Structure 1
Amino acid sequence: MNTASTWSPLEITPESAGVEASPEGLLKVVGDSGTIDARLIAEKALVFRRFHLTPEALEPVMSELLPARLAYVHGNSPRTKVGQNVYTSTEYPQEFTISMHNEMSYSHQWPARLLFFCEKAAETGGATPVTDAALWLESLDDEVREAFAQGVCYRQNLHDGYGLGKSWQDTFETTDRGQAEAFLEGTGATWEWRPDGTLRISQVRPATAKHPVTGAEVWFNQSDQWHPVGLGGDTAAALAQILPPEELPQSVTFADGSSIPDEYVIQVRDRALEAAVDVDWHTGDLLLIDNMLVAHGRRPYTGTRRVLVAMSD
């Protein structure tokens, strides 16, 4: 199934906006926040090209597009913080595809917007694929949608500095256990500290969500990224020999604790990638997405690629 032709992001250029091809011209465009807000809801994703944006000119643009920038607290992917709530995009080996996902959809609170800035385009590849999350939901077989209707349960084992996956210190951006617990309070999660210092977290979340403005129901969970089969057969088999499921850095089941069949996870992952539209990067480009209406991923690449990301509520 391929529904990519039914939707694509809106491209905004100096020519289409009637401004000069410069960071100052881009500021004129994004400074009209009412128009940008309406366009983002209508189009779901906006690509700003050929404005010659540089890292030095990025901050005022981000301030317009992301007025309430968020920290990546409780984020599960490896990133490096490079500024005031600005991060590198997921630091995952460049030869692999990152499957489609809505940022932090496993969390009790997620960013409403994501902004990507291409500081340096890859030599080849490295596109950011985007998928209409409502079309993703529609693309799934009835059997799969019904199986996920009661939601999913995410489990994390965050080590104390040494081990597989992320540490709890990196995840919560603190070395204070009390601050980590304070974040978890009120989220609906349950947690415990293990004797080795590991923080074990369990949280039940819905599999779909409704957008607060459009009312559209969207696929909104990261079960395919948290499920062992998403790692690939050889990696999953190797991990299974080392660790039981409950000890993996992250895992997922249905809300009642029953296993999610591998074939469901593979369908979820593949249907999203089949429907994806690639946003190819040129140095200086920006991509703004509504994090509920659009899922995103990453294509493999060669050479050096540096894409920064920031988030807001």
Structure 2
Amino acid sequence: MSTSSQAALLEVDLQPGKPPILHTRPAGDAVRWAAEHRMALRAVVAEHGSVLVRGLGLRDAAETVALFHQLARTGLMTEREAFASRRTYAEGVYSSSKWPPNQPMCMHHELSYRLEFPGLILFACLSAPTEGGATGVADSTAVLDALPGDLVERLEREGWMLVRNYNEEIGTSVAEAFGTEDRGAVESYCRANAIEFEWRPDGGLCTWQRRSAVVRHPVTGLRCWFNQIAFLNEWTLDPEVHEFLVDTYGAEGLPFTTRFGGGDPIGEDVVHLLNEVYEAETMREPWQAGDLMLVDNVRSAHSREPFTGPREVLVGMVDPVRLADCSPTVKVNAG
């Protein structure tokens, strides 16, 4: 059965400004329903880039872990190079990133700075906030089409660079990001993944890596805007937070920022432009407890809006994709 035929098996509600929504009331348990509808759900994601499943009534972490395993093809991925801490519920199942609830997490593609990243992101809401907190999605092909041609051309030619400074005071530690504190193991990982590095006299670590900003979808071949240029740039930070970090660590010591692939800074005007384009393409729907969301990580960027009240969203990353299989415009040499 073709992908479109599979997708037609499910009645998806399509409304402007909202992600595709599938309303369901499974006769049995949610895990069994997911197993029976796995291919049809994946077909909807292949067609639309994402889908929000409402009515499953997911209750707890154990049920969610079992459901994620049913939806995965080859198991759940272990996160490496994380930019923010997460709680681990089970191997490959995490909390959403620990980020101040009053600050937005702007649009990004999960782990798009890695040489291998998830092709599909699974989200499950166990506790919905009283206000805000939606996981927005944006079609990366539409974002690419809306950006100025000269900016896209430069980033296709140069790529983008992520610069990170690890320390024990702010952001993720070396151990959290790389899964080890052993310097030799960290250095081996960096060499194998085309990451330049330098140890600081105080024991901190600085890394920088160059990646493609535009790729082709590994299945459809569509050109997609695929990066974290805006989200991990210093100008996306709250102005007071940015000022504090620069005063404390210096302009070269920020936990993370992004640059053009040749090393030139990316200006505040460019970052604001990117976020404006993302906002124009954003689809959002408030979470309800028990919801499930599937997001094609290449076709769709995702975000997290500010919120109030308790919010518990579990995350699973599946279907590993190699950057080399996405027609990258910038070649990297992994040792």
Instruction: Please report the TM-score for the alignment, with normalisation by the length of structure 1.
Output: 0.90
Compute the RMSD of aligned alpha carbons. 2.0
- Show the 5 A alignment for 1:223-238: 223-238=229-244
Q: Say if 2:82 and 2:172, in contact at 8 Å, map to a contact too.
A: no
Tell me which residue corresponds to 1:173.
Answer: 179
Moved more, 92-101 or 287-296: 92-101
Measured after TM superposition, the shift of residue 103 of structure 1 is: 0.4
Measured after TM superposition, the shift of residue 32 of structure 1 is: 4.1
Q: Say if 1:23 and 1:53, in contact at 8 Å, map to a contact too.
A: no
Q: Distance in 2 between matches of 1:10 and 1:295?
A: 15
Tell me which residue corresponds to 2:117.
Answer: 110
Pick the aligned partner of 1:143 from 150, 162, 165: 150
Tell me which residue corresponds to 1:36.
Answer: 41
Instruction: Tell me the alpha carbon deviations over residues 240-284 of structure 1, each in whole angstroms, 9 at most, x when there is no partner.
Output: 333333221112211111111210111111210221111311111
Q: Distance in 1 between matches of 2:284 and 2:19?
A: 10
Aligned to 2:210, what secondary structure does the other structure show? strand
Tell me which residue corresponds to 2:277.
Answer: 271
Are residue 158 (structure 1) and residue 166 (structure 2) matched? yes
Instruction: Please report the TM-score for the alignment, with normalisation by the length of structure 2.
Output: 0.84
Tell me which residue corresponds to 1:9.
Answer: 19
Tell me which residue corresponds to 2:131.
Answer: 124
Long gaps (5+) in structure 1: none
Moved more, 237-246 or 281-290: 237-246
Q: Say if 2:226 and 2:298, in contact at 8 Å, map to a contact too.
A: yes
For 2:159, the aligned partner's letter is G
Measured after TM superposition, the shift of residue 144 of structure 1 is: 2.4
For 2:46, the aligned partner's letter is I
- Show the 5 A alignment for 1:46-61: 46-55=51-60, 56-61=62-67
Pick the aligned partner of 2:99 from 78, 92, 96: 92
Q: Distance in 2 between matches of 1:43 and 1:12?
A: 12
Change (3 A) 1:239 1:57: closer
Tell me which residue corresponds to 2:189.
Answer: 183
- Show the 5 A alignment for 1:189-200: 189-200=195-206
Aligned to 1:169, what secondary structure does the other structure show? helix
Aligned to 1:185, what secondary structure does the other structure show? helix
Identity within the alignment, %: 28
Q: Distance in 2 between matches of 1:79 and 1:28?
A: 28
Q: Distance in 1 between matches of 2:136 and 2:226?
A: 16
Change (3 A) 1:179 1:196: same
Q: Distance in 1 between matches of 2:119 and 2:140?
A: 14
Pick the aligned partner of 2:246 from 240, 246, 252: 240
Measured after TM superposition, the shift of residue 232 of structure 1 is: 3.0
Tell me which residue corresponds to 1:66.
Answer: 72
Q: Distance in 2 between matches of 1:278 and 1:7?
A: 6
Moved more, 234-243 or 216-225: 234-243
Aligned to 1:144, what secondary structure does the other structure show? helix
Number of residues paired by the alignment? 303
Q: Say if 2:159 and 2:260, in contact at 8 Å, map to a contact too.
A: yes
Q: Distance in 2 between matches of 1:52 and 1:5?
A: 23
Q: Distance in 2 between matches of 1:240 and 1:103?
A: 26
Q: Say if 2:56 and 2:292, in contact at 8 Å, map to a contact too.
A: no
- Show the 5 A alignment for 1:203-242: 203-242=209-248
Measured after TM superposition, the shift of residue 7 of structure 1 is: 7.2
Aligned to 1:224, what secondary structure does the other structure show? coil
